[in-house]
Amino acid sequence: MSRPDRFVGKSVIVTGAGQGLGRVYAEGIAAEGGSVVVADINDVAGKETVARIVEAGGRAMFVHTDISSRAGTEELARQTAAEFGGIDILLNNAAMYDGMAMAPFTELDETDWDRMFAVNVRGTWNCCKAVVPYMRERGTGTIVNIASTTALIGPPLLLHYTATKGAIVALTRALANELGEEGIRVTGCSPGVTYTQATNNILGDPVLGDIFVEMQAVKKKLQPEDVAPLVLFLCSDEAGMIVGQNYVVDGGWMKP
């Protein structure tokens, strides 16, 4: 259930918030009172998210951000703190996903591999490095990293993406231990195959999407609205003692 006051007084960065899951996270946090910074490399999509939030009565601003750039993430943090007085929450959602190659690992080239790691892993690291000094000033903060069940299942034809998401799971655990004593809580979530426009672009053939659904315990296409409630909970103070974990929302695709 949505709580209109859960993020009141909180300054929240959501990366990759121009579309898909990121947009749903950003809109959900704003609807619960948070001041949201929509960070995205796509200006049109990012500004559209901000417009939707403002139209609904929320507070948001857009910052053009290439998370693979250290300077870009430092500027994101600077603008956030200048506008909203600090940084309380970082939701690391941005990742290279839409348009990525699906191919046997022997057919992936170094450009595919390096770009995937530059965005998905180095980008997450960059964002964490950029915001932590502001969180240290307050003696508190929350970082939620979005990984993927691909890292836990290991599906074929996505080795580069899967490897980056495995790195995010490990990064989350290590960073949680490193920052916990400073009052900065780090945890994460691994969504399953979630049906956004980007997912439809990758799968192409609708039959392939149906195959993924059949692998789930619950035979329903996972939607962003199915994932967002857990992610918003992890961002909130209610999850104050949930640290270093990787929660799965996938309709039962990954089974023990």
**Separation of alpha carbons 200 and 212, rounded Å:** 12
161 tagged catalytic: yes
214-227 per-residue burial string, b: 16 or more CB within 10 A, e: under 16: ebbeeeebbebebb
Which tokens go with 70?
Answer: 């250290």
Distances (CA, A) of 189 to 9, 179, 230: 24, 18, 8
Can you tell me whether residue 254 is helix, strand or coil? coil
Are 73 and 83 in contact by the 8 Å Cβ rule? The answer is no
Catalytic residue among 134, 161, 195, 247: 161
Nearest to 135 by CA among 72, 180, 191, 195: 180
Which tokens go with 187?
Answer: 């945890």
Which tokens go with 212?
Answer: 């993924």
**Separation of alpha carbons 16 and 25, rounded Å:** 10
* 3-class secondary structure per residue, 140-167: CEEEEEECCCHHHHCCCCCHHHHHHHHH
Cite the active site residues. Answer: 161
